[in-house]
Structure 1
Amino acid sequence: MRAIILILFGVLLIGCKKKSSPKPPEIAVLVFPNQNSECTTGRDINQTTSEVEFQWMASNHTETYELRVTNLNTNITQIISTAAISAKLTIAKGEPFSWFVRSLNTLVTETAISETWRFYNAGFQTTYAPFPAEVIFPKNGASVFKDINNEVSLEWEGADVENDIEGYELYLSPTTPPEILIASPSSNENSAKVSVTSDTTYYWKIITKDSEGNSSDSGIFTFKVI
């Protein structure tokens, strides 16, 4: 009788044991194409496109991956889902791209997003324009406070395959498109303080120039001064 009671007690313990919750996926580490590089390994499809294989490392607790590749000149994004740790896409030659990978698991709602890398897909050029500058602060659409000098610090990041950036042009105005040249920082300057007025929305952009005479436009960003 005692043995039967012990067995029943054990069954109850097993039945009541709480199952561990599924873990969210972790961030995938990107492998190729390399950050701020020229991709020369694409397989030619025709004169204007080539097939590039994107690669990343497996991430824990992940069932599938979503690869997103964006043409930085057209802002057109291609998306592909796969359970593998690589995927091939046909993309335009001689164009700048950004890419990242999202890790997913159907057992949880959380997802994990990798770093975003940028590269040029090799074409027939002998020189490349700088990558469009990436805005660091303020984030697009953000509301910010001015400092005691009625200024806001604008910050960005520039990159170039050939590492020959010569400088930047910062345009800012309360109307769009911004056409007022506020500053011309050198290549080793990635921020500038600008005078602002409270309760005003501003539009700004960065033109990046290199020693070959090439340039790129960051696109227009906006922020509001509280």
Structure 2
Amino acid sequence: MIRKILGLAILALLVSCGGDDGPPPAPEGAELVFPDENSECTTGTSVNETLSQVTFQWKASKNTESYTLSVVNLDTNVPQTISTSTTSASLSIAKGTPFAWSVTSRSSRSDQVASSETWLFYNAGSQTTYPPFPAQLVNPPSGSTVLKNIANEVVLEWEGADVDNDVASFDVFFSASNPPESFVGTTSARTMKLPVVVESATVYYWKVITTDQEGNTSDSGVFEFKVY
């Protein structure tokens, strides 16, 4: 009997010491450092007439073994990516061009990943002033299905910025055809939302043209969503 009790006690001790500790901790999102958000990057090293090499930097994130840097050319929507175990990486990118960049944190101990914020910047070129950044369409998310409100409306929302800080207005185009050709309104630089009338069971397309005080423009590209 004593041996049986002692055996059960040892088994319980082993179970308590070697029990399930839960899943490994997931990586956390990195904090971006450079190039600064909504800035002109002037520190790149010239590669040729059209390209310069820019070094991207971010802070180390917890539970992370490697990072994937993604840099998207906002004129072409073509991404460049590079993976590294350090907190910086260099890429050759087009001069005088707007970019969006972000960092994804990864760990071999977890199947989860974490994304940083996305920052916009212009890679310096020969120009002294820059067009505004293409508006970043926020709501409704592209490809989503949404409910209209009691007024049969959906509110379009976006974010806009400019290196020169001289955005003048936003022109919104919206329709059930792609590309959206119906002009539905202009908002001031401080207003980045606009309600539009919609019908149920319909797919809609929309985009925003940003204009600065010098007449420069940029095109957000087209988003789509469906109304219940």
Task: Tell me the TM-score range normalised by the shorter chain.
Answer: over 0.9
SS at match of 2:163: coil
| Contact 1:152-1:196 at 8 Å conserved across structures | yes
Match of 1:215 in 2: 217
Query: CA shift at 1:136, angstroms?
Result: 1.5
Match of 1:133 in 2: 135
**1:128 alignment partner AA:** Y
Match of 1:17 in 2: 18
| Contact 1:63-1:83 at 8 Å conserved across structures | yes
For 2:79 and 2:117, locate their aligned partners in 1 and report how far apart those are by CA, in whole Å. Answer: 16
2:29 equivalent among 20, 27, 30: 27
**1:190 alignment partner AA:** M
RMSD (CA atoms)? 2.0
Match of 2:92 in 1: 90
Structure 2 residue 46 is matched with structure 1 residue 44: yes
Match of 2:193 in 1: 191
Task: Output the TM-score relative to the length of structure 2.
Answer: 0.92
For 1:137 and 1:171, locate their aligned partners in 2 and report how far apart those are by CA, in whole Å. Answer: 14
Unaligned runs of 5+ in 1: 1-5
Cα deviation 1:168-211 (Å, max 9, x = unaligned): 11001111111111001111111111111111111110000001
SS at match of 2:169: strand
Query: CA shift at 1:126, angstroms?
Result: 1.2
For 1:203 and 1:157, locate their aligned partners in 2 and report how far apart those are by CA, in whole Å. Answer: 17
1:171 equivalent among 150, 173, 184: 173
SS at match of 1:34: coil
Match of 2:146 in 1: 144
| Contact 1:167-1:208 at 8 Å conserved across structures | yes
| Contact 1:202-1:224 at 8 Å conserved across structures | yes
SS at match of 2:110: coil
For 2:14 and 2:129, locate their aligned partners in 1 and report how far apart those are by CA, in whole Å. Answer: 67
For 2:20 and 2:64, locate their aligned partners in 1 and report how far apart those are by CA, in whole Å. Answer: 19
Query: CA shift at 1:13, angstroms?
Result: 3.7
SS at match of 2:92: strand
SS at match of 1:132: coil
For 2:120 and 2:38, locate their aligned partners in 1 and report how far apart those are by CA, in whole Å. Answer: 5
Identity %: 53
**2:163 alignment partner AA:** V
2:206 equivalent among 204, 207, 210: 204
For 1:123 and 1:181, locate their aligned partners in 2 and report how far apart those are by CA, in whole Å. Answer: 33
Match of 1:3 in 2: none
Query: CA shift at 1:141, angstroms?
Result: 1.2
| Contact 1:127-1:212 at 8 Å conserved across structures | no
Query: CA shift at 1:10, angstroms?
Result: 7.1
Unaligned runs of 5+ in 2: 1-5
Query: CA shift at 1:19, angstroms?
Result: 6.2
Match of 2:61 in 1: 59
**1:224 alignment partner AA:** K
For 1:11 and 1:180, locate their aligned partners in 2 and report how far apart those are by CA, in whole Å. Answer: 73
For 2:200 and 2:11, locate their aligned partners in 1 and report how far apart those are by CA, in whole Å. Answer: 68
